[in-house]
Amino acid sequence: MARKFLYFIAVCIVLAIAGLIALRLWSDKLTRIAFVPDSSFVEQQPLEANAYHDPAMWFSRPGLGVTNDPARWQPEFAEASGQAAEPQEAEEAPRFAVFFVHPTSFLDRSNWNAPLDDADSQARARLFLRGLASPFNQASEIWAPRYRQATFGAYLTDSPAALLAIDAAYRDVSQAFDFFVETVGPDMPIVLAGHSQGASHIVRLLKDRIAGTPLQDRVAMAYPVGWPISVEHDLPALGLPACATADQAGCIVSWSSFAEPADPGMLLEHYRGSPGYDGKPRGESGVLCVNPLTGSINGAAPAERNLGTLVPNGDLSSGELVVGAVSARCDERGLLLIGDPPDLGAYVLPGNNYHVYDIPLFWRNLQLDVARRVRAWTTQPR
Task: Name the residue range of residue 44's domain.
Answer: 2-76+89-257+265-290+364-379
Q: At what angle do helices 13-25 and 28-35 cross, to 10 degrees?
A: 150
Which residues in the chain show pLDDT less than 70? 1-34, 79-91, 313-318, 382
The answer to whether position 324 is within a domain reads no
Tell me the three state secondary structure of residue 364. helix
The answer to whether position 164 is within a domain reads yes
Q: At what angle do helices 160-184 and 197-205 cross, to 10 degrees?
A: 60
Q: What is the pLDDT of residue 90?
A: 55
Q: What is the pLDDT of residue 210?
A: 98
Give Cβ neighbours of residue 43 (< 8 Å, ≥ 6 apart): 164, 168
Give the Cα separation of 139 and 171 in Å (integer).
Answer: 25
**CA dist 260 → 194, 228, 339, 354 (Å):** 25, 19, 5, 10
- What are the backbone dihedrals phi and psi of residue 22, each rounded to the nearest 5 degrees, phi first? -60, -35
The answer to whether position 201 is within a domain reads yes
* Structure confidence by residue, pLDDT tens digits, 234-280: 999 999 999 999 999 999 999 999 999 999 988 898 899 899 999 99
Q: What is the pLDDT of residue 35?
A: 75
Q: What is the pLDDT of residue 319?
A: 76
The answer to whether position 249 is within a domain reads yes
3-state helix, strand, coil in the chain (%, to 5): 35, 15, 45
Q: What is the pLDDT of residue 314?
A: 54
Q: What is the pLDDT of residue 381?
A: 78
The answer to whether position 346 is within a domain reads no
Query: Residue 24: how many CB atoms within 10 A of its CB?
Result: 14
- DSSP letters spanning 156-171: S---HHHHHHHHHHHH
Strand boundaries in 307-354, DSSP class E? 309-312, 319-322, 328-330, 336-337
C-alpha torsion sign, points 185, 190, 196, 200: positive
Residue pair 104/16 in contact (Cβ under 8 Å)? The answer is yes
**Residue 137: what residue type?**
N
CA–centroid distance for 206 within its chain = 15
The answer to whether position 238 is within a domain reads yes
**Residue 247: what residue type?**
D
**Residue 255: what residue type?**
W
**CA dist 369 → 61, 191, 195, 315, 340 (Å):** 22, 12, 17, 31, 25
Q: What is the pLDDT of residue 78?
A: 81
The answer to whether position 213 is within a domain reads yes
Strand boundaries in the chain, DSSP class E? 58-60, 76-77, 97-101, 141-145, 190-195, 219-225, 251-252, 257-258, 290-291, 296-297, 300-301, 309-312, 319-322, 328-330, 336-337
- DSSP letters spanning 4-39: HHHTIIIIIHHHHHHHHHHHHHS-HHHHHHHHS--S
Closest CA to 108 of 165, 47, 164, 175: 165
Give Cβ neighbours of residue 65 (< 8 Å, ≥ 6 apart): none
The answer to whether position 141 is within a domain reads yes
Structural domain total, the chain: 1
Query: Residue 147: how many CB atoms within 10 A of its CB?
Result: 28
Q: What is the pLDDT of residue 80?
A: 56
